[in-house]
């Protein structure tokens, strides 16, 4: 139990957005993808996910880890209603209409509450993504459903303490998610195998060094000095504990840093690429599109596209 307490204490949580939606037009998004963790509470109607289109029942919650693409159907969609995530973002207002909680009880259409949030170990590693767990349904958890509703209800308010209350509710959401996984013994093997970074301080040193020097030299030679292991062994050591090689992890962190800069600054694509470690702007743009499925320039529009009003 102490180990899992340490896990929870090590995870930093940040709310990104939340909203209620009415399904205007049913849609299947073949590669639904969010850079943050996503919980979708189904109030009424139809919600399906995965290649087998598993059905989420009313009152249940679909959880999708950060950065994990998943086929998701909102409403009774057919084959004709399929589109890519990129197309969905550009046409989201046609399919999902933002509504308030008081509207939910008075409408007959399919409706959901959706919340996205970050959960990072030592503010570096995406916790749920790093566990390697797939999207899954959370059944029979009224407490978690209530917390999700509370987050969005608070976001609809314009009163003192709003941000603080949202942060508290979002932290409760993450704790309840971990408790649900442990209580129902879900993904036990993934949890024990992929969370070994909590046990090795040298790996944490590397995580922190990468974060602080994201635009600098992060070769295996440099990482070997940080971890005090040989250059020949550092790649194997990193992959043994994390499941990925260090350079793949570094690229993922550089891209995450780029996304944050695109969202929060007016810096040029070229300058952002250089700031996160890419001297060649064209190469940075190719890698960015390969990872996120859309060009870096379009990512700037993403927040306005996904926050449907």
Q: Does domain 200-299 have CATH number 1.20.810.10?
A: no
Compute CA distances 233 → 87, 214, 285, whole Å.
43, 22, 31
Higher pLDDT, 292 or 84: 84
In the predicted model, what is the mean pLDDT of residues 68-91? Answer: 92
Are 246 and 225 contacting, i.e. CB atoms less than 8 angstroms apart?
no
Residue 152: what pLDDT?
A: 96
Distance (Å, whole) CA 100 – CA 168: 21
Give dist(CA 178, CA 183) in Å, integer: 8
CA angle 144, 148, 152 (to 5 degrees): 165
- Beta-strand relationship, 47-49 and 54-56: antiparallel
Q: Domain limits of the chain?
A: 1-184, 200-299
Beta-bridge partner residues of 49: 54, 72
**Is residue 112 helix, strand or coil?**
strand
Handedness of CA 71, 72, 78, 83 (dihedral sign): negative
* pLDDT at 292 (0 to 100): 83
Q: For residue 34, what is the DSSP state?
A: -
Cα separation, 51 vs 101, whole angstroms: 31
The pTM assigned to this predicted structure is: 0.73
Lowest pLDDT segment from 8-12, 193-197, 225-229, 303-307: 303-307
Runs of H (alpha helix) within the chain: 2-10, 85-90, 92-95, 101-104, 127-130, 142-155, 162-183, 188-194, 201-212, 220-227, 231-242, 246-264, 269-275, 281-292, 296-299, 302-306
Strand partners, 117: 15, 37
Average pLDDT of the residues in 191-211: 74
Say which CATH topology domain 1-184 has.
Jelly Rolls (2.60.120)
Instruction: Give the per-residue pLDDT at 190.
Output: 66
Considering the chain, what is the average pLDDT of its residues? 88
36-45, 167-176, 205-214, 275-284, range with the lowest pLDDT: 205-214
The strand pairing partners of 256, in sequence order, are none
**122 has pLDDT over 70:** no
Separation of alpha carbons 103 and 281, rounded Å: 47
Choose the weakest-confidence range: 89-98, 155-164, 196-205, 288-297.
Answer: 196-205
Distance from C-alpha of 294 to C-alpha of 299, rounded to nearest angstrom = 7
β-partners of residue 72 are 29, 49
Give the separation between CA 7 and CA 179, rounded to whole angstroms: 12
Q: What is the pLDDT of residue 12?
A: 86
Nearest one of 244, 247, 205 to 227, comparing CA atoms: 205
Pick left, alpha or beta for residue 59 (phi over 0 → left; psi -120 to 50 → alpha; otherwise beta). left
Q: What is the pLDDT of residues 20-77, one digit of tens each?
A: 999 999 999 999 999 899 999 999 999 999 999 999 999 999 999 998 999 999 999 8
Residues shown for the chain: 309
Q: Specify whether the CB–CB gap between 112 and 145 falls below 8 A.
A: no
């Amino acid at each position: 139990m102490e180990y899992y307490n340490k896990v929870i204490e090590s995870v930093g949580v940040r709310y990104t957005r939340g909203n209620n939606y009415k399904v205007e037009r049913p849609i299947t998004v073949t590669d639904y993808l969010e850079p943050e963790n996503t919980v979708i509470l189904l109030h009424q109607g139809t919600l399906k996910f995965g290649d087998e289109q598993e059905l989420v029942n009313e009152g249940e919650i679909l959880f999708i880890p950060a950065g994990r693409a998943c086929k998701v159907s909102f409403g009774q969609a057919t084959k004709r209603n399929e589109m890519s995530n990129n197309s969905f973002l550009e046409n989201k207002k046609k399919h999902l209409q933002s509504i308030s909680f008081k509207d939910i009880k008075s409408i007959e259409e399919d409706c959901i509450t959706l919340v996205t949030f970050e959960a990072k170990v030592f503010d570096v590693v995406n916790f749920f993504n790093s566990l390697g767990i797939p999207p899954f349904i959370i059944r029979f958890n009224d407490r978690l459903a209530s917390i999700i509703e509370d987050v969005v209800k608070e976001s609809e308010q314009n009163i003192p303490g709003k941000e603080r209350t949202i942060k508290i509710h979002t932290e409760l959401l993450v704790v309840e998610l971990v408790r649900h996984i442990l209580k129902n013994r879900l993904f036990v093997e993934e949890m024990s195998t992929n969370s070994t970074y909590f046990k090795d301080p040298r790996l944490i040193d590397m995580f922190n060094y990468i974060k602080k020097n994201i635009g600098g030299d992060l070769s295996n030679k440099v990482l070997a000095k940080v971890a005090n292991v040989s250059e020949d062994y550092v790649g194997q050591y990193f992959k043994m504990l994390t499941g990925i090689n260090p350079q793949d992890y570094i690229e993922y962190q550089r891209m995450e840093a780029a996304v944050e800069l695109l969202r929060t600054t007016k810096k040029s694509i070229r300058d952002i690429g250089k700031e996160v470690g890419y001297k060649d702007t064209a190469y940075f743009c190719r890698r960015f599109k390969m990872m996120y499925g859309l060009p870096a320039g379009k990512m700037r529009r993403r927040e306005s596209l996904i926050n449907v009003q």
